Amino acid sequence: MKTLQLLVMFMAPVVMFAQQEREVKLSEDKNLIEVVYHHENGAISQQGTYNLQGELHGVWESFAEDGSKLTSGTYANGKKNGKWFFWNNQTLREVDYNNNAIASVQEWQESTKLASQE
């Protein structure tokens, strides 16, 4: 059950931006395509970059309609890599990825005050 919850949580950002309005800009100095997706209310939904091969690359963040941060992590040539953070109500999950595979998961409740959404 826990695996199913994690799978749904990690797939939601990918599905969420499929039909949203977006801004696209080429960052020539970094050879990346910068993309910003918006909620219907105009608030930023997700932002990040693609490499010139069309793969997710670099830092990606997702936000709720009220502007609060939901997810922050890094892609390397289309694969999740390094530390990802997922905020959900009173909980922060830190997921370490190695070449798109989950290496470890840690979870904190709001009472621990270890990380901020800002």
Give a three-class secondary structure readout of the chain: CHHHHHHHHHHHHHHHHHHCEEEEEEECCCCEEEEEEECCCCCEEEEEEEECCCCECEEEEEECCCCCEEEEEEEECCEEEEEEEEEECCEEEEEEEECCEEEEEEEEEHHHCCCCCC
Decide if pLDDT at 85 tops 80.
yes
Mean pLDDT of the chain: 81
pLDDT of residue 116: 55
* CATH domain 2-112 topology: 2.20.110
pLDDT of residue 11: 45
Residue 6 binned pLDDT confidence (cut-offs 50, 70, 90): very low
pLDDT (tens digit per residue) in 62-76: 999 999 999 999 999
